[in-house]
Amino acid sequence: QVQLQESGPGLVKPSGTLSLTCIVSGGSISRTNWWSWVRQTPEKELEWIGEISHSGTTNYNPSLKSRVTISVDKSKNQFSLRLSSVTAADTALYYCARVIPSVAVGHIDLWGRGTLVTVSS
């Protein structure tokens, strides 16, 4: 069965760039799904960061769009998140997820376990 595993540094300095990778195992990233990043703040609010299709089409949260890049590497069966110019407000538990697309908003049928990223000097 398909599993998702986030990886990346748990500590990032302010003004630096947060980089995370989601490894997709047990299935191909090239199927007709979208792949997403969601974060949970210390206040437990969930925030959608963005998503990417297997062909590389992206949608981003407008509030983060200027700082976010999501990419897919089909050869490695993984997708990645880069968030630049981070501040303490970007401290969160970051989840990667698989989205089943739909005309009227896709749903997430598979989540990773999440990885905590702290922004601090």
Partner 1 sequence: QSVLTQPPSVSGAPGQRVTISCTGSSSNIGAGYDVHWYQHLPGTAPKLLIYGNTNRPSGVPDRFSGSKSGTSASLAITGLQVEDEADYFCQSYDSSLFVVLFGGGTKLTVL
Binding site for partner 1 (CB under 8 A): 38, 44-48, 51, 61-63, 95, 100, 102, 104-105, 107-114
Q: CA 88 to CA 101: how far, in whole Å?
A: 32
Q: Quick one: 58 or 74, whose CB is closer to partner 1?
A: 58
Contacts of residue 21, Cβ cutoff 8 Å, sequence gap at least 6: 6, 7, 8, 78, 79, 80, 81
Q: Quick one: 14 or 101, whose CB is closer to partner 1?
A: 101
Shortest reach from residue 109's CB to partner 1, in Å: 5
The answer to whether the beta carbons of residues 5 and 111 sit under 8 Å apart is no
Q: Quick one: 60 or 72, whose CB is closer to partner 1?
A: 60
Shortest reach from residue 13's CB to partner 1, in Å: 27
Q: CA 14 to CA 62: how far, in whole Å?
A: 21
Shortest reach from residue 77's CB to partner 1, in Å: 19
